[in-house]
Structure 1
Amino acid sequence: MNANKLIFAGLPMIAVTYGLSRFSYGLMLPYINETINMNQTTSGVISSLSYVAYCIAIAAAMVFSHKVTSRVILIAAGLLSIIGLGAISISMNPVVLGLGIFLAGMSTGLSSPPYADIVSKNVTSKVQNQTNSWINSGTSIGTAFTGAVAMMMVDSWRITYVIFMAIAVVVLVINYNVLPRHQTVEKKLPQDTIGNAGKQSLQLISASLLLGLSCAAYWTFSRDFILSLENVPAYLGDWLWIIIGLAGLLGGTAGVFINRFGIRHAFRISAAAISTSSFLLGIYPGNAVIGFLSPFLFGSSYVFMTGVLIVWGVSVFRTNPSLGLGVPFLVLAFGQAAGSILAGMTADLFGYQILFLAASVIGYLSMVFQYKTD
């Protein structure tokens, strides 16, 4: 299968499931609250449903990868995204809103592992890393698009979600027509498991967990922190998601970088860069240049880092690409969920500066773990 054709289908699907279905809630929450009138506790619980759904779905995608085709799983992801976004758009109370967020979050977990499997079976080996990386960069496009729409449609959040749902329908149709219809399904579990992969999988899991813990502070509190800084222009806070998203396009080069310099060097650079983005916020608050540089560095390195984790995971679980992508992404999401709680407690006790400095230290510690060649 032509790699560009697969990227044409996969990149927008990731943009829809991650950007529109998952990350849009945090941006639209202030406007949703004006209609549904939720307190912070309720808003936080609903937000956590996305993480819970993501973990459940990505585990399900790994379990069922040997029972049904990747195409079926991706179509299910598209349908869940459409239904979830539709439920959000018509929600009149927290229960319906929470259901929509949960279903939309499930679409995110189902969408990533199958593409790794399709790439492994249908794309020539020399361009597999680039293909996986560019599909993964859909996260950045979806994030930037969500930020732009949120700025333009602040008074019409329901219409915004209807637009998102319409886009999800178009993307699902594209994938329905492009994804390979005939795929051999393994009737038995592949040989690769976390136990069989040994120390290499433990290195991958440990690094993913620490990076998840580190990144959570940035995803949750960076916008609030930047908006609270007197010397940083307010527009940087408004454009934060767009800066992160557009910078993330640079992360699509992860596959090319890995092919040239190797997984170990790519991981070290991405972990150092994403940790430095938090360090800069903590050590130089109020600096307008840092207010732009930090989110730019975070956006580009986050997508690059997740691309590295995909290639690292697939190289560890060679006979089960879905497991190779699913394990680091599942652990990363778990780290982000736990990190969000810890970040809130740290910010309450010590303030944002200490929070981001602590987050950077955790990120730097992830560099202790590294890919080891056979």
Structure 2
Amino acid sequence: MLTGRGVFWLAGTGLSLIAVCYGLARFAYGLFVPVFRTEFDLDAATAGAIASGAYASYCIAIVASTALTAKFGSRMVAVMAGGIATTGTLMIAAAPGTLLLALGVVLAGSSTGVASLPLAHAVAHTVPAARLNRTQTIINAGTGLGVAIAGPVSLATHEHWRAAWLVFSILCAVVTIWAAFCVPAASARDHRTSGLRQALPRPLFPRGSGSMVAAAALMGIASAAVWTFGRDILVSEGQLSEQASTIAWILLGACGIAGAAAGDLAGRVGIPWSWTTTMLTLAAATALIAMFPGNILTAWATAAVFGAAYIGLTGLLLIWSTRVYTDTPAAGVGLAFLVIALGQAAGAPAVGALAEATGLQAALLAAAVIAALGSLIRPRPVERSSDEH
């Protein structure tokens, strides 16, 4: 087990790797959808399809990562994730046309699937139980940090979006080097024992997994709307300036860091109550962005709330999955995040198609309804662990 200093460095490295893979390599695409639509002459359906490709590649990557983490250990797979993010963001920066742009987005998006499992594995096997939930949710909040970083880089580079993606690539490379030194390497004992079981948990779907899978799927479908078209609706229908709409994105990421409190919230009031209220919060934020895209204060406030709710929900699913899959926590996290991405892969093109038919406002309102339906799912009560008392 790691000491306090070791846990601190693992949490910092994991937070940073999640920040560059999720916040930059994957979700920064939504920040640049307006300029990509202009630069490459994309309609909403095509922009949604490209986003769907990133989510789909995540799904493939997370399945592969489960086996790779079991075989090679956390450090090697974490470094692989950073390398993929670096390459994908560099491809986007150099893209001469739609095809290479799409390929770069798909490759960059896959890095998130590779990153999640080795970090969950490292925390589950090296962090003392009393600090487990908090460490997991702090690392998970890296998405918000990455999104918050993407906004200022976008503002600093103005219309030179290629320079922004080059900066993203450099940041990915730096964090990859950091991960090579700070993420623990699995021991031979990990490979022989826990690794094989984590690759294929038994039973594959234990009691309580059904509600977890349904919750993750609806959350993924609902959240895809804002991640893909949130800034687009502020610019195209709300007529907000580039600066004002980018500030909304920065607030989305910065307040997403507050989602690190999900572990403490679940410990105090339980996962069922936390899930219902946070999912309803996501629904309300999505609806308000759709209804008042031209009101700058509303846009900023609702983007901030959406970010905190989204990261909080992923943190709750992280804890929820480790309690359902008590013997194979990394596999449980992998399943939960795989289903979120499957939902987003389905939701992004569906929202794009609906936007082409009825407008972005109606498409985002439909996503809000799906989030509200997801709030009705109630996980089975679980016994509170000793670190939550």
If the length of structure 1 is used for normalisation, what is the TM-score?
Answer: 0.90
Structure 2: segments with no counterpart, 5+ residues = 383-389
- Please say if 1:268 is aligned against 2:250: no
Match of 2:110 among 106, 112, 137: 106
Q: Partner of 1:6 in structure 2?
A: 10
Change (3 A) 1:123 1:305: same
- RMSD of aligned residue pairs (Cα, Å): 2.4
Asked whether the equivalents of residues 30 and 230 of structure 2 are also in contact (C-alpha less than 8 Å), the reply is no
Change (3 A) 1:314 1:361: same
> Alignment partner of 1:176: what SS?
helix
Match of 1:79 among 80, 83, 102: 83
Q: Partner of 1:362 in structure 2?
A: 370
Cα deviation 1:197-225 (Å, max 9, x = unaligned)? 13x11100101111111112222222232
Cα deviation 1:128-163 (Å, max 9, x = unaligned)? 111111101110111111111111113333332222
Which 10-residue stretch deviates more, 361-370 or 142-151?
Answer: 361-370
Q: Partner of 1:197 in structure 2?
A: 206
Q: Partner of 2:142 in structure 1?
A: 138
Asked whether the equivalents of residues 321 and 336 of structure 2 are also in contact (C-alpha less than 8 Å), the reply is yes
> Alignment partner of 2:196: what SS?
coil
Quote how far apart the aligned CAs of 1:192 are: 3.2
Map 1:7-46 onto structure 2 (within 5 A): 7-31=11-35, 37-40=40-43, 44-46=48-50
Structure 1: segments with no counterpart, 5+ residues = none
Matches of 1:348 and 1:101 in 2, distance apart? 22
If the length of structure 2 is used for normalisation, what is the TM-score?
Answer: 0.87
Q: Partner amino acid for 1:6?
A: L
Quote how far apart the aligned CAs of 1:27 are: 2.7
Cα deviation 1:217-259 (Å, max 9, x = unaligned)? 2222222322345697775323221110111011111112122
Change (3 A) 1:61 1:93: same
Q: Partner of 1:242 in structure 2?
A: 250
> Alignment partner of 1:272: what SS?
helix
Q: Partner amino acid for 2:269?
A: F
Match of 1:118 among 119, 122, 143: 122
Quote how far apart the aligned CAs of 1:189 are: 2.7
> Alignment partner of 1:65: what SS?
helix
> Alignment partner of 2:379: what SS?
coil
Asked whether the equivalents of residues 90 and 158 of structure 1 are also in contact (C-alpha less than 8 Å), the reply is yes
Matches of 1:266 and 1:85 in 2, distance apart? 35
Asked whether the equivalents of residues 32 and 157 of structure 1 are also in contact (C-alpha less than 8 Å), the reply is no
- Please say if 1:47 is aligned against 2:51: yes
Percent identity (aligned): 32
Q: Partner of 2:387 in structure 1?
A: none
Matches of 1:64 and 1:129 in 2, distance apart? 24
Quote how far apart the aligned CAs of 1:32 are: 5.3
Which 10-residue stretch deviates more, 183-192 or 138-147?
Answer: 183-192
Matches of 2:55 and 2:239 in 1, distance apart? 34
Asked whether the equivalents of residues 212 and 334 of structure 1 are also in contact (C-alpha less than 8 Å), the reply is yes
**Count of aligned pairs between the two proteins:** 372
Asked whether the equivalents of residues 46 and 98 of structure 1 are also in contact (C-alpha less than 8 Å), the reply is yes
Which 10-residue stretch deviates more, 162-171 or 112-121?
Answer: 162-171
Q: Partner of 2:264 in structure 1?
A: 256
Change (3 A) 1:242 1:194: farther
Quote how far apart the aligned CAs of 1:79 are: 1.4
Which 10-residue stretch deviates more, 327-336 or 355-364?
Answer: 355-364
> Alignment partner of 2:320: what SS?
helix
Change (3 A) 1:45 1:210: closer
> Alignment partner of 2:380: what SS?
coil
Which 10-residue stretch deviates more, 97-106 or 188-197?
Answer: 188-197
Change (3 A) 1:12 1:351: same
Q: Partner of 2:385 in structure 1?
A: none
Which 10-residue stretch deviates more, 212-221 or 293-302?
Answer: 212-221
Matches of 1:234 and 1:164 in 2, distance apart? 19
- Please say if 1:324 is aligned against 2:332: yes
